[in-house]
Structure 1
Amino acid sequence: MRFETTWLVTATFAADAARRREPYRAAHLDHVGALLASGTALVAGARADLRASVLVLRAADATAARTLLEHDPYWQHRVWTAIEVVEFLAATPPSLGRS
């Protein structure tokens, strides 16, 4: 097992996110799906209580990780109200070839 420096990103939902997100949900899922497909996102999802989305991202630095989420429709349309990015040491399989 290797530990890869990644970024743990928490994007806080607006109080009315369940209603507010609906028009942008498909575009948001496309954006996150592209991050997952490219390997930029190791994992992505939302807390069951809809307080926040949580992602583990590969990026050059915290600013780059934040920028990835700022391009998401949920941020652009205020479904998310805050983005927090912290360095995270992800345990990844050795087959990924990263250290």
Structure 2
Amino acid sequence: MRFEPTFLVTATFAADAAVRREPHRQAHLARVESLLADGTALLAGARADLGASVLVLRAADAGAARELCEQDPYWRHGVWTAIEVADYLAAVPPPDGRS
């Protein structure tokens, strides 16, 4: 196994996120899908209590991970009110699939 620079991001929802997110949901989901497809995001979803989105992102550093989130429609339109970025040790298999 090897470890890549990855970050656990928790993006807190606004109290009125259920209403606020609706006009921006499709754009947000398209962005997340793109990040998953190109390998930038390893995981994306929400806490079961819907208090926050949770992402595991590949990025050069914590600032780059934050910037990726700040480009999201949910941040730009106030659906997310805070973004917390923490170093995360994502174990990934070697490129050739061997350990």
Runs of 4+ displaced beyond 3 Å: none
Offset of 1:96 from its aligned partner? 6.8
Q: Match of 1:95, SS?
A: coil
Task: Say if 2:39 is the partner of 1:39.
Answer: yes
Task: Report the aligned-residue RMSD.
Answer: 1.4
Q: Distance in 2 between matches of 1:83 and 1:26?
A: 20
> Which runs of 5 or more structure 2 residues have no equivalent in the other structure?
none
Structure with a larger share of its residues in helix: 1
Give aligned-pair identity as a percent. 75
Q: Give the direction of change, closer, same or farther, for the CA distance of 1:96–1:33 in structure 2 (3 Å limit).
A: farther
The question of whether the paired residues in 1 share the 8 Å contact of 2:62 and 2:87 is answered with yes
Q: What is the aligned length?
A: 97
Partner Cα separation in structure 2 for residue 52 and residue 13 of structure 1: 5
How far off its partner does 1:2 sit? 2.4
How far, CA to CA, are the matches of 1:96 and 1:71 in structure 2? 33
The alpha carbon displacement at 1:95 in A equals 3.5
TM normalised by structure 1 equals 0.91
- Output the TM-score relative to the length of structure 2: 0.91
CA displacement 1:5-53 (0-9 Å, x = unmatched): 3011110000111111111000000111110011000000011211000
> Conserved in 1, the CA contact under 8 Å of 2:9 and 2:86?
yes
